[in-house]
Amino acid sequence: MNDVINALMERRSIRKYKSEPINDKELETIITCCLYAPSARNTQGWHITAIADPAKIEDLNQAVKTAVTKEGFDQYKDLVSQGGYSINFKTAPVFIIVSVDLKVSLSPQEDGALVLGNIMLAAHSLGFGSCWINQLKFISEESGFRQKLSGLGVPSGNKVIGCAALGRPAVDHPKAPARKTGLFNIVR
């Protein structure tokens, strides 16, 4: 099989990372791959915010913990209240936020998901691990948290679609679990 098909079948979510940084060239390569994701009618309405400063990632992590204690974020209260919770699994040296301009994108969720897919495949092809993170999507419009995102350069008119933790894996690459059967059919 070719390299693209292998990457699609081999990539797995990684949740344990070495704390060593990702150099600028590697990070820029991953981000450039994001910019080539398809978008509805080629609107390219996304924005990628890559945070590579551990102090800023931890500050964002604390803001997440505060935001989910407020009314309406029950689905994450239990997860975040666990002592070991961290948006970047404590050691991923890069945290990427994908947001989409709702005035530009015709299909913001789909466009952002394709960008995140490109992040994860590009990271895998360069030997990095990644994991999709959802918490920010649900709290991004909470007023105090929105200010935190704006301070990091996430455009104010953009909706957070998802995020990714990114770094060098600190675990052996997991094997893909068996695929379920009956999930497709071909009509001729």
What are the pLDDT digits (tens) for 1-50?
799 899 899 999 999 999 899 999 999 999 999 999 999 999 999 999 99
Confidence of residue 186 (pLDDT cuts 50, 70, 90): very high
More reliable by pLDDT, 139 or 84: 139
Confidence of residue 68 (pLDDT cuts 50, 70, 90): confident
Structure token pair of residue 36: 């080539």
In this model, does residue 75 exceed pLDDT 80? no
Residue 143: helix, strand or coil by DSSP? helix
Instruction: Let me know: does 167 contact 90? Beta carbons within 8 Å.
Output: no
Task: Determine the residue type at 97.
Answer: I
CB 91 within 8 A of CB 18: yes
Tokens of 138: 């649900």
Q: What does the block give as tokens for 99?
A: 């947001």
Q: Which phi-psi region, left, alpha or beta, contains residue 127 (left: φ > 0; alpha: ψ -120 to 50)?
A: left
Q: State the pTM of this model.
A: 0.94
Interatomic CA distance for residues 188 and 183, integer angstroms = 17
Tell me: pLDDT of 67 over 90. no
The model's pLDDT over 86-140, given as tens digits with 9 standing for 90+, comes to 889 999 999 999 999 999 999 999 999 999 999 999 999 999 999 999 888 888 8
pLDDT at position 1: 78
Rounded-to-integer distance, Cα 4 and Cα 26, Å: 18
Give the model's pLDDT for residue 80.
78
- 82 vs 68: CA distance, rounded Å: 12
Tokens of 118: 């490109």
Contacts of 103 (CB under 8 A, 6+ apart): 45, 157
In this structure, what token pair is assigned to residue 124?
């895998």
Instruction: Identify the sign of the CA torsion 160, 49, 92, 86.
Output: negative
Whether 81 shows a pLDDT value over 80: the answer reads no
